[in-house]
Structures are given as C-alpha cells and as structure tokens.
C-alpha cells in the first residue's frame, strides 16, 4: 500500500485524492497528512540521485508521434514521427 501511495504521489495525484482512493478501495482511513508522511520516503532517494556525479556528456533522444489521416488504398491513420 505504501509503494502505491508513493507511486501515485510521484505521478501528481494530491494527498487528499490518494486518501480518498484508499478509503474507497480498502476501507482504511488515511489522512492527507499520513499520505504526505508516507510519500516523503521518496525524497531521500531523489537527493542521493542529485548528489551522484553524472558524466559530463548526457544525450537524450525524444520521440513523439502524431497520427494523421492518410488516403491510400483505405482510409487509415498513420503515425508520423517527430
């Protein structure tokens, strides 16, 4: 349950929404403050990651696609990668 709380919090779900979800799904009552305390477990991991020395050269590749309707033999949507 705690790992689910941390994952939801990291995805941007508010502590109040998480507390409501837990109560609806499991019947257990967690206050938004309790959810916040559980989610703080993730903060030390982030700090150690930031302290970790990274290589000077970092490469990233971002791929995205949009689907466009193209008229060929049939009417279909095809991914165009950007």
**What is the DSSP secondary-structure string of the chain?**
-HHHHHHHHHTT--HHHHHHHHHHHH-----HHHHHHHHTTHHHHHHHHHHS---S--------EEEEEEESSSEEEEEEE-
Q: Residue 72: pLDDT above 70?
A: yes
Model pTM above 0.85: no
Give residue 45's pLDDT: 64
Tens of pLDDT, residues 42-58: 666 666 666 766 667 77
- What's residue 8's pLDDT? 84
pLDDT per residue over 9-31, tens digit each? Answer: 878 888 899 889 888 988 888 88
Residue 59 domain boundaries:
2-81
pLDDT greater than 70 at residue 6: yes
The total number of structural domains that make up the chain: 1
């Amino acid at each position: 349950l705690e790992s689910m709380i941390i994952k939801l919090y990291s995805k941007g779900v508010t502590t109040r929404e998480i507390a409501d979800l837990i109560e609806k799904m499991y019947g257990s009552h967690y206050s938004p403050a309790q959810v916040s305390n559980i989610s703080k477990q993730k903060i030390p991991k982030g700090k150690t990651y930031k302290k970790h020395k990274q290589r000077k050269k970092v490469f990233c590749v971002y791929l995205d696609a949009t689907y466009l309707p193209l008229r060929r033999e049939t009417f279909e949507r095809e991914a165009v990668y950007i």
